[in-house]
Amino acid sequence: EVQLVESGGGLVQPGGSLRLSCEGSGFTFSSFWMTWVRQAPGKGLEWVATIKQDGGETSSVDSVKGRYTISRDNAKNSLYLQMNSLRAEDTAVYFCARARVVITVTSFDWYFDLWGRGTLVTVS
Instruction: Give residues in contact with another protein (CB under 8 A).
Output: 35, 37, 44-47, 50, 59, 61-62, 95, 100, 102, 104, 106-113, 115-118
Q: Least separation, in Å, of the C-beta of 49 and another protein? A: 9
Which lies closer to another protein via its Cβ, residue 18 or residue 116? 116
Q: Least separation, in Å, of the C-beta of 83 and another protein? A: 18
Q: Least separation, in Å, of the C-beta of 109 and another protein? A: 4
Which lies closer to another protein via its Cβ, residue 16 or residue 100? 100
How far is residue 52 from each of residues 11, 32, 78, measured CA to CA in Å? 29, 7, 13
Strand 10-12 relative to strand 3-7: parallel, antiparallel, unpaired? Answer: unpaired
Which lies closer to another protein via its Cβ, residue 84 or residue 115? 115
- Order across the sheet with 18-25: list the strands: 3-7, 18-25, 78-83, 68-73
Query: CA-CA distance, 29 to 52, in Å (whole number)?
Result: 11
Q: Is 92 within 8 Å of 83 (Cβ atoms)?
A: no
